[in-house]
Amino acid sequence: MAERARVGSGAPWEASVGYSRAVRVGHHVVVAGTTATAPDGTVFCPGDAHGQALAVLEIIERALARVGASMADVVRTRVYLVRIEDFDAVGRAHGSVFGEIRPASTMMQVAGLVDPAHLVEIEVDAIVDDTAE
């Protein structure tokens, strides 16, 4: 059985809800739905979907790195928007990171997220090809 590696980001809900920011099993990495939340619970870039998306992508990038993966390994993203009119702003942030990588992606509107200040939540799946190591 493949070893399981788990990392947290310090988000306040990880311990109380019982989940990890990222889990790697073998070549597969799954990053939980991620919002623009600091470890102290404050929300980065209130009211700014583009800024929140960039903050989310930075949190995801750090989580991937901690399990030996990178944004280049991402094969799928799921983007949840509270306001569908933020599609362009969040899409620009997504494209600034994934424009060359081009993972499969879904973007959808949801009724709300855990904190009303959250405008966007992103989760990713990655497959690490470490055969070259």
pLDDT tens digits, one per residue of 41-93: 899 999 999 999 999 999 999 999 999 999 999 999 999 999 999 999 999 99
Q: What does pTM read for this prediction?
A: 0.93
d(CA 30, CA 37): 19
Sign of the alpha-carbon torsion through 100, 23, 32, 20: negative
Q: What is the pLDDT of residue 1?
A: 67
Q: What is the pLDDT of residue 85?
A: 98
